[in-house]
Amino acid sequence: GLASLLLAPMGAHAVNLAAITAAICTGPDAHPDPRRRWVTGIAYAGFYVLLALFSAPLVDLFMGLPRDTIQIITGVALLGPLTGSIAGMLSNPDDREVAVMTFAATASGVTLFGIGSAFWGLVTGFLVLAARRLLARRRDVVRGSA
């Protein structure tokens, strides 16, 4: 967090990748027994050393691939996180409409006043959530007075 904030202006924006790797290494997918998860950390460290040793040829390899191939590889790599995120987004039946509207606005790619769709997705989500809560309160008041 803080290191990324301080180093991002100097081009070191990828400091936060360590947090992603730590989450992978310490999660239940690494090993069911938390006392054995250190093995995953060692394996990742070794993989990173190998990656560092062969980074220049790997960059050359990827630079030589057609743009469409890179996009396909990226898309396939994102399928797991996307499906997990969508499943989490839809897990609460009470807020599904809010989640879908937020996702749709964000995925739309719309830009208004020079502000991108990520912001408008948040605005849409907050507005839909506020409207649903307001309508639910009014419905409860009407039921209570009847």
Residue 115 in domain = no
Residue range(s) defining the domain that contains residue 32 = 1-64
Rounded CA gap, 100 and 84, in Å? 15
Rounded CA gap, 117 and 23, in Å? 28
Write out pLDDT tens, residues 78-116. Answer: 888 888 888 988 888 888 899 999 999 999 988 989 999
Residue 44 in domain = yes
Q: Determine the straight-line distance between the first and last CA of the chain, rounded to whole angstroms.
A: 53
Residue 126 in domain = no
Count of domains in the chain? Answer: 1
Residue 89 in domain = no
The closest alpha carbon to 97, from 137, 129, 130, belongs to: 129
Residue 73 in domain = no
Residue 19 in domain = yes
Residue 98 in domain = no
Residue 96 in domain = no
8 Å CB contact between 59 and 52: no
**What percentage of the chain carries pLDDT values higher than 90?**
36
Rounded CA gap, 129 and 134, in Å? 9
